[in-house]
Chain A
């Protein structure tokens, strides 16, 4: 009976523990899409878009994840044969302030991003820092709020973009 009770307790605790941010867990996101869009009317046009993005992070320690964002987008206009490709790569570091057992947490993240365009030289460089509260809805899904700042520079000209951003999104966690 004692063992039964212990098993029930372990089962109950395992259901309630939200250990997505322990060492060896993963943060994942991204998608792949292809679209062919035809517009009828006065300004008729056709475009073909391909987008591939992945966002993966690995917890090297409890609460500390290192990751990479990779993306590729391509826009093609058949009428003019103009093709514009963007390639983006960038590392990020994410740290959670509270212990992994907590359902509520706060995270901080910094990231660099390098974006290249097929028809121009030089990278568009973005540095960003953001953070905010997180609520773990279950063992695999977290609701995240963020507030952050980003600074973007274009190598070949003087254009500089400063961005204040805020958002809400769902994050997928995969545990061992």
Chain B
């Protein structure tokens, strides 16, 4: 089934935040933000700004009737800075006026006097100065210290991965207005409507029932609108309450890039021990997360880093410690993979390091250590239906790995200024919010008495196709055609207390809740049909809009059945509630069974590096992926292709750059480059791994949002292998992204060339 939203998208009729028709009297707003990264605020002078014609009001922390607090996990982040600035771009005030243009003009006239405080941008420095968001956590299994001596090989090193800008094409935004009795309605572009509702209530000094949050769709989220859509929504809600006028914000791209957090940069030390054959016996990692200036979701992101620190491998002795280090960057936040990719990068770096020293391809070590059924993860869960080996073997067979190896070797022998690199990237990703209590969802279903069906769930559509999957659940449960079902907006008055649409779990959780709701109504309809047809409810099924008895069609049509139920005063509405069974996790022991299931897959990546210019093209990315029983192959394929490209972008072109003063240099699309159509692999081939699917996945169709991003990790190692083929003197480093700059410098590292001030070898 094609994406049900695509008609609206291709005609421009889909409604995003900035497309909502504005109400009479709507005001517009712009945020005034900190022009330094860490400082005391001595004075802010708004007088000139307030003189600009069209400016109605400038709202600061002093205007907040409730709490000046938006921190989700830890209450450590003000909506507006009060006495201190903690990051460049931190909101200080909201300028409200008759147009965005006048607000921007006014912003340029605000004068701020500050007193500089020391700026930290490096997480290791923050750690050394004990600037921690929360206490570090350690996942431990076995005892690495007891086995280092028994290892034939032990290697230690450092791995760094930079952050990543979400670059949703629709920037952040929100629109709020006052309803009767001081209640506030907020239309916003958020993955977490309940977070917006809860935070707005807290800041405005209201209760949650006073705040209604409505989300039609997002022009991309990727985690960047899970927590960080909240401040804008709260700001305009506050303005609407104070000013009794509708107030809107549509954040300009450079403001968005400057003020919002990104994927966390990480810096880690690893130690890996292997036996003679390449079995990994022990692994230790100390992981420094660059959390930015406030907690945001950092502790949860750090937790998932620990969960995924050994990726798809079984390692009997593991000790991984991670720390959320407070720096003066914008608070970093969720981004597809949620810390998992960063943890896996360290492990893959350790393996690549070991392979380099041992003089064997990394894939020999990778394969030997893949998870098997019964293996224990460092957090105590036992691998079940582990498809790591199956996916690898299938990929190796389907795409003829040995032929690829030969082809790359031959190419490299025959070419001098171009070299190819091959890497294999296995992925294992756990599905569920790692915070067990969040794994629940609700759905509300009305069957109207004309037979049409109205569905609301807690899931937010952001391009991942959750609307389409929800519609499939409803139409399949009722046995009706798609045009009978309408997916409504995500609204806190229809579905309450929702978890954000995140953790790849949106379709599973909300789909299961929806299935429960639909099944309940179906049960009542079966009874009505049985009565009318003198049969028994358990013999009744609904297919093709028709009532069947024992698989034989009857004359009773869907519309007539619904009308009959309605006239018999049978409820045609239902709310379904689902809470994932089986999962649990004990943080005091760091052990448990946190994931409903794992998703597996293997990617084979081949890159070609232009050794003259340092440019590279990815030729083939061939993937065998564990979809379970995909309920929508078009939607799921799109998630894989988009995910792997986003992962490759993170590992290659996308380079966040801050000055040591904490100012973002890569602050626009002209300086921060995401893949364009020519930067993506020439071929991305995706094959479904034949598996039975999983009962805890919606219709056995496994979650697909985040796992494919991590195939992109292989891009780094493929490039590295090509560089090694060109420059035997290159010492492998693990410092993503592998930009063309780093590639060129690596290609010529250690070579005698006259490009420095004098002649000499390039530093490594």
Decide whether A and B assemble into one complex. no
Q: Mark B residues whose CB is within 8 Å of A.
A: none
Q: Mark A residues whose CB is within 8 Å of B.
A: none
